Every structure is written in C-alpha cells, then in structure tokens.
Amino acid sequence: MAEEEKKEKKGFFRRLWSGLSKTRNSIVSGLENVFTSSSKIDEDFYEELEEILIMGDLGVSATDEILEKLRTEVKEQHIKEPAQCRDILIRGIREQMTVDEHAYDFEEHPSVVLVIGVNGVGKTTSIGKLAGIYQQRGKKVLIAAADTFRAAAVDQLKIWADRAGVDLITGAEGADPASVVFDALQAAKARHTDILLVDTAGRLHNKKNLMQELAKIDRVITREYPDCIRENLVVLDGTTGQNALSQAREFAGVTNLTGIILTKMDGTAKGGIAIAVQSELKIPVKFIGIGEQIDDLQRFEPDAFVDALFDVTPQEAEEESTAEESKEETSPAKEAPKEEESQTTESGETPSSEEKPKNWWDDIDDTPIFREHGDYY
Amino acid sequence: MAFESLSEKLSRVFRKLSGKGKLSEEDVKSALKEVKIALLEADVNFKVVKQFIASIQERAVGEEVMNGLNPAQQVIKIVNEEMIKLMGPEGAELSFQPGKAITVIMMVGLQGSGKTTTASKLAGKLLKKGKRPLLAALDVYRPGAIKQLQVNGEKVGVPVFTLEGSKEPVKIAEAALAHAEQYHNDVLFLDTAGRLQIDEDMMQELEDIKKAVTVHQTLLVVDAMTGQEAVNVAQTFNDRIGVDGVILSKMDGDTRGGAALSVKAVTGKPILYVGMGEKLSDLEQFYPDRMASRILGMGDVLTLIDKVQENMDEEDEKANAEMSAKIKKGKFDFNDYLESMKQMRKMGGMGSVLKMMPNLGLSADEIESAVDEKKMARMEAIVLSMTPAERANPKLLTPQRKYRIAKGSGNDIADVNRFIKQFKQMQEMVKKMPGMMGKRRHGNPFGMMGMGKRGNGNPFAGGRGGFPF
C-alpha cells in the first residue's frame, strides 16, 4: 500500500510540482540557501527563514507559528545544524495542512454545496468542474445559478452545465438569489438529487449587505432542507496575498465554512496563502485548481502539496516526469497521447479521478470554449 | 490579534528613544524593520520592499527630527513621501491619438482580474467625455465572456463588436478596427482573454494581436489583492507585450493593496485608475498619497474626508458647521449626537469609517469587535426616547426621567445610566481639548461614543490612540 500510495501521490504531485515550480524554486532555493549557507542556528538564520516564508505568501502569523515550532524543536532536540531544520520545517507545515478523513463525506450523502467567494476567483468554473466530476461518478447533480448579478454569469454556467449533462435551476437577472436557491432546493428534494451545487455571485467580503444576502441564502438552505449534508466552500484565488485571510475570515462569519477551494495554483509564486489560511482559521483546503484543463480541479493532497513546495529537488521531479507526464496529456492540446497505462498505475485512493482508468472528460470533444484558456471565473 | 498597525509598532520601538535631534542609524534600522514587515503584510513584493527600504535608510539616517515629531513619526513621514514619489505621478491620463484617429486600447491581465468590467467602465467614462468608444470582445475562451461584455456595453451605452463564431482573436481585432473606422469610432477597446503570464501560447497571441493592429495603449489590469505574484505578472506582461498603464481593480475591498507599489516599481508605468466597485461608474482616479497611507496601514484619511464631503448635502454642511462651533465651545448635546450618528451612517457605518482612520491604534479586528452596530442602535433609541428639552439639556435627566427613557427605549435603566455617564465624560474630554476639535471642519467626536466594550465606562477603550481627526 505504502508503495502504491506513494506512486499515486507522486502522480498528482508531479503536476503540482510543475504548477508550483516557480514558487518552489523561489522558496526552496531560498531555503536550501539558508540551510546550507548558514553555519549556525542563530537569529539571522531565523530571520532569513522568516523572510523566505513571507515571500511565499505565507503571511506573517503563519510564518511565526511555523518558526515558533521550529525554535522549540531545535531547543528540545539540541539541534545544531541548520540543515536538520529543513525536515522539521516541512513536517511542521504538513501537520498544519492535514485534511480530516471525513472531509469528503458530503459526496456520499444528499448534500448541498454552497460555493462562495470574492469576484473573479473562479467560483463558476469550479462549480462546472465539480458538476462534471460528480456526474461522472454517477451522482445525480443539480446546479443552482444563484449569481443573478454578474452579466452573463448564468450563460457561463449554462455552458458548463450542458457540458456536464447536469440540470440547471436559474432565475431572472437581478432576482433575489435566495429565491433561486429556494426553487433549486425544492427541485433537489423532488428529484432526489445527490448533490446540489449552488453558484453565488462574487462579492467582496467587506460589503455588509452582500454578505447578508449570503447569510439569507444560508438560512434558506438550513430551513428548507434540514436533512441534507451542508458543505460551504469558499473559493480563494491562489494569486491573492494576505487578503485571502480576511476573505476566509469574513465568509466564515456568515456561513459555517467547511472547506476551501484554492484556484489558479498553476501560475508562478503562490501556494503559501493556503498554509496561512489553514494555520490561522483551521479551515481545510479541500480542492485545488492547478491548471487550466478541466481535470485540474482535484482533491487537495496536503502531503503532495507540501512536498511540492519543499521536498523534492528538481532532479527527482525530472525522473518522475517520464512516468507522470502522461497525466497532463489528458488535454490534447499539448504533448502526444501515450499515457493510458500510467493512469492505471496511478489509480489508487482518490476516488475523484483515479478510481477509473477512463476519465469522464475523455468523452468530451475538445472545443475551444472548454479548453485550457480562460475557463476561470 | 492579527496585525498591529504600523504606527502602533513604531511607537513601541521608539518608546525608549526620545528627544533626539537626529535620526541615528540605529533608530532608522529598528524603525525600518517594522516598516518592512508592514509592507510585507500589505503584500508588497519582498524584493521591492528590500530595495525600497535600502533607499529610505540612505535618506533617513542623519536627518533632523522635525519639531513636533518624534523619531517614529519622522521615519513614517519619510517613508510616506518616498512611497508617494514611487507610485506617482498623480493624475496620469490615457493619451489619445490626435484628431479623429482611432486610439486602440488593449486590456490585458490574469484571469479574473476584471478586464471585461474595467473595459466597460472605462468606455463608459470616455463616452461621457464625448468620445465614441467601441468595445471588441476578444475573449473567445471563457464561456460567457462575450455575453458579459455585450451586457455591460449595453449598460454603459457603448456598442460592442463581436465576430460570431470566430475563435481567432487576431482576426476579431482586425475586423473590429475596420468596423471602428467605418462607424467613426475614435477609441477601440480590445478586451482580451485572461491569461497566465507563463502561458507561452497565450502570450504569443497578444504579441500577434499587437502585430496585426497598431495598439496605442496596452493597459494591464491587476487585482489589488494580488500577493507576491504581482511582480512576476507585471514584469512578464511588460517585457513581452509592453504595458503603457496599469489599472488596479477591486480596490473597494479591504486589501492594503501592496500590489500597487510592486507593479509600479517593476514596470515604471503609471497607475491610471482604480476600480472601486461593481457598478459600472465605479472607476476612479489613482491617488498615490492615499495609496501610500493605505499600504502603510495608516488609514485613508483623505478618502474619508472625500467621502464625508460627498455625502454631505448643503443642509448637513450647515448643521455640521454649527456643530463644529458648539464643539469648539465645548457645548454639545444629544441632538448633536443624533446628527452625528446620522452622518456616520451615511458614510457606511461606524466600522468602515474607523477603519479608514489613521493613528487610531486599533486593528481592523478590534474595530470589528468594538463597534457593535446593534449597541449603537440601542443608544440612539435612548436619545430618541428623550424629550426635545432633555436632548438639549442633559442636566434635566432626573432618575424618574431616566426610568421613563429606559422603558421607552426598551433598555435597562443601567444601560441608560451608563450611556449618559459616557456622554458626560465625552463632554468633559472635549472641553479639555478644544484645540483638537474643530481643527478640521468635519471633526466629529461623537462617533466615538458607544465604542467602549461592554461594561467599560470609558468610551476611549483603553485610552489608546488619540482623536482621529
């Protein structure tokens, strides 16, 4: 199991690695530098570490917490070598990022997944991807288009829903989003839907009235469908800096946040904010968008994520790349298709994608509207 | 306690040092360490911070500490000045082709940064200035993107050009330009798809567009909430495509907006506008000085003052002048309290106003917990339950009257007593410092009432900070 698990993780991890390579380089090369160039563990050493972590968008308090742990362990274990600190540091962060084993229980029960976040973080796109994933897994999925504000938001969602073969409940532009949700809840109950995905309008978290609107939607769900499993996911843009903390905090104030979808993790320097959010708010990252292809919304793998940030030297990754490259090929846009076998080897624990050798999106023809670019929002 | 404000930190650093004539290297170093962290917390890129701090250090060491300032303030003053200089100039404008020639403006940026919305806002703005703008939809990738532009264009009354069925942005750009020529539009906006700066194909596409049509202005739209990444984005777009101006979007959030400094520092290109809301009219000029104090976490006083002015009609203006006069004399009553509450609400509530104030020494979290809007409503109810005579003359408030007020306002008699006590304390304090009040026209001390945490009689919780105005 351990062997297999490792392999599987590396598959995912390889992709993360390529997505995060630049962060990795900036953080890790910085870290390596500190670990190798510092001759002793002193204040300068800690200060350098602090700077590097902050630079990775980890934020001041997450950084402090991590370094505090490090200091304690260094003291307790009488560590003298800066290089030894590396493992401790990685372990510390990994512990923070653990996802509870029941985190995905909602997928197996009748549930309502409310997706919220500020403007332009990728809510609609994430919903579209989730709808496809669950539909493919044989779930009965329904989407509520409760973004009645942004121009053409419903049209955008409609395209996703059609693609995934999922029903969509809509209201008029400018309608009360809670009323759309109300309708969708009735429909979900009547049709015995497994998962109802609720797309909401982007709203800045400091807009009181818009947050109240969200609270209302939340209340409507609780009142109209008390038996369902609630899943409230906030979508955070991986390129966002410290403001993501404020966003998560405020959204947690109006609904009981059960998880985070971290999007746009395929650019350059990012990823740190995930650590900051989990460290400060104890809200687990459950899904991560690491690419522009449709299959790039995945369950969050803390180990793989942290490994990608710290663990592996580019060399190791090179080695894997031969085996793992394949996974990226599911999108026909890039390299030649030669992968089916590796996909099977990777199959293992994450039911979301690895369970099946064939992925649901394989059947979808690759029209430009769907492919790699611009499917955020 | 998430973030201590910079001024708070600095005053801690400098508590030991006082009465120095010149800033020593030590002073500056320890102060700049805090400034550095403040900038990092605001998401200014690390390398930019480093460079910036180094230049400040050079300038600050040995500088005379001005009369009336302490070393901390002196350092902040320098930092602030340098930041403004770096982010300037103020009031940079789009430049247009002379005469009736078409100015082609290309909007570029990451996904979700707000290009489509910003393009519509800008086009609407130009329309009002007498231009004849045309919006062209080049985002053929994101589902619904074209429709979004069409809807927004309609809202601002600007025509939108689309090429039905075309998946080739270059062709659309060419066709749009031809269309603009034919219909005598003088500004053409190319609303391109969002893209990652490391996406080779997509960056190539922008280069191709630029080759196919002459783009006069390439505007980079940057989400104000962007973290350390902002530098990479700005640099790559600038190096490959060439950026002529920057627009910061989503500035109506509570982000400190360090990305502004990062982007300006690496591109050197002016920040033209800031997006301040979802309404299509919400595109404002960029003010480096306000941005500087926002990034430093010193509050956005100027914006606040603007907001006050904007929200104050003439009648309010008069009432306010009267109030200021009263305050100066140390005379004010519950009527003034009501009035001030009314104004406070117009500005978006106590919390949002306090957050914009500098040097209050309160973090956003503390403000959040201290400002209990419900509690303030109760206080207002107390005042509203008073007779006009009582409001004008608090001395009339005998126990019976208080009892009546408590009943009338649905409060406990203890609440009423506490409120009146606080009010009297406030009166006393204001009397003691007439010089502080009325210095600014819109000074309003009453807003502080009701801030005391439960059971805390002193409205100036903990006596921190000073009067905000």
Give the distance from residue A227's alpha carbon to the nearest chain B alpha carbon, in angstroms: 33
Domains and their CATH numbers in chain B: 6-87 (1.20.120.140), 103-296 (3.40.50.300), 305-463 (1.10.260.30)
Residue B364: the pLDDT is 55
How far does B55 lie from chain A, in Å, by closest CA? 19
- Whether omega before A226 lies within 30 degrees of 0, making that bond cis, reads no
Q: Average pLDDT of B401-408?
A: 91
| Residues in chain A within 8 Å Cβ distance of B364 | 246
Q: Are A273 and A58 in contact (CB under 8 A)?
A: yes
pLDDT of B463 reads 28
Q: How many helices (H) and strands (E) does chain B have?
A: 20, 8
The alpha carbons of chain B give a radius of gyration, in whole angstroms, of 27
Least confident of A78-82, A258-262, B65-69, B168-172: B65-69
User: Is A281's Cβ below 8 Å from some Cβ in B?
Assistant: no
What average pLDDT does this structure show over B3-11? 56
Higher pLDDT, B349 or A248: A248
Please tell me the pTM assigned to this model.
0.70
Residue B442 tokens read as 């819109």
Whether the CB-CB separation of A208 and A232 falls below 8 Å is answered with no
CB pairs under 8 A between A and B: 183
In percent, the amount of chain B with pLDDT more than 70 equals 72
Backbone φ and ψ for B382, nearest 5 degrees, come out as -60, -50
CB-based contact (8 Å) between A43 and chain B? no
- Reading the block at residue A183, the tokens are 């309708």
pLDDT, one tens digit for every residue, chain A (377 residues): 444 444 444 444 455 555 555 444 555 455 556 666 666 788 888 877 777 787 778 877 788 888 888 899 888 988 888 877 877 887 778 887 888 888 899 999 999 999 999 998 999 999 999 999 999 999 999 999 999 988 788 988 999 899 889 999 998 878 899 999 999 999 999 999 999 999 999 999 988 889 999 999 999 999 999 999 999 999 999 889 999 999 999 999 999 999 999 998 876 545 688 888 888 889 999 999 876 666 788 898 877 777 666 543 433 334 444 444 444 443 444 333 333 333 333 433 434 433 333 333 333 333 333 223 333 33
With an 8 Å Cβ cutoff, are A376 and B148 in contact? no
CB atoms within 10 A of CB B241: 20
d(CA B115, CA B117): 6
Average pLDDT over residues B107-132: 94
pLDDT of A36 reads 62
Q: Is A268 on the interface with B (CB under 8 A)?
A: yes
Chain B touched by A172 (CB under 8 Å): no
> What is chain A's alpha carbon radius of gyration, rounded to the nearest angstrom?
21
Q: Are B142 and B153 in contact (CB under 8 A)?
A: no
Q: What is the mean pLDDT of chain B?
A: 79
Q: What average pLDDT does this structure show over B326-345?
A: 72
Neighboring chain A residues of B368 at a CB cutoff of 8 Å = none
Tell me the percentage of chain B whose pLDDT exceeds 90. 38
Interface contact B198-A368, CB threshold 8 A:
no
Higher pLDDT, B454 or B97: B97
Of A204, A266, A374, which has the smallest distance from its Cβ to B250's Cβ? A204
Residue B154, Cα to own-chain centre: how many angstroms? 29
Whole-complex ipTM: 0.71
The pLDDT score that the predictor gives to residue A31 is 56
Comparing CB atoms, the residue among A61, A149, A243 nearest residue B225 is A243
| Confidence band, pLDDT 50/70/90 cuts, at residue B349 | low
Please indicate whether, in this complex, the C-beta atoms of A377 and B151 are within 8 angstroms of each other. no
Do the Cβ atoms of B143 and A205 come within 8 Å? no
Q: Which residue of B has its CA nearest to A161?
A: B143
Residue B468 has pLDDT above 80, yes or no: no
3-state secondary structure of A101: coil
Residue B11 pLDDT exceeds 90: no
What distances in angstroms separate CA A24 from CA A243, A268, A368, B132, B459, one per listed residue?
A: 22, 9, 31, 48, 49
Q: Which residues fall within 8 angstroms of residue B141, CB to CB, at 6 or more apart?
A: A368, A369, A371, A373, A374, A375, B193
Residue A371: closest C-alpha in chain B:
B141
Residues B245-271: pLDDT tens digits? 999 999 988 888 999 999 999 999 999
Do the chains contact at A369 and B194, CB–CB below 8 Å?
A: no
Which of A43-47, A321-325, B81-85, B425-429 holds the top average pLDDT? B81-85
> Nearest residue of B to residue A374 by CA position?
B142
pLDDT value at B335 more than 90: no
Q: Note whether A241 and A273 are within 8 A (CB).
A: yes
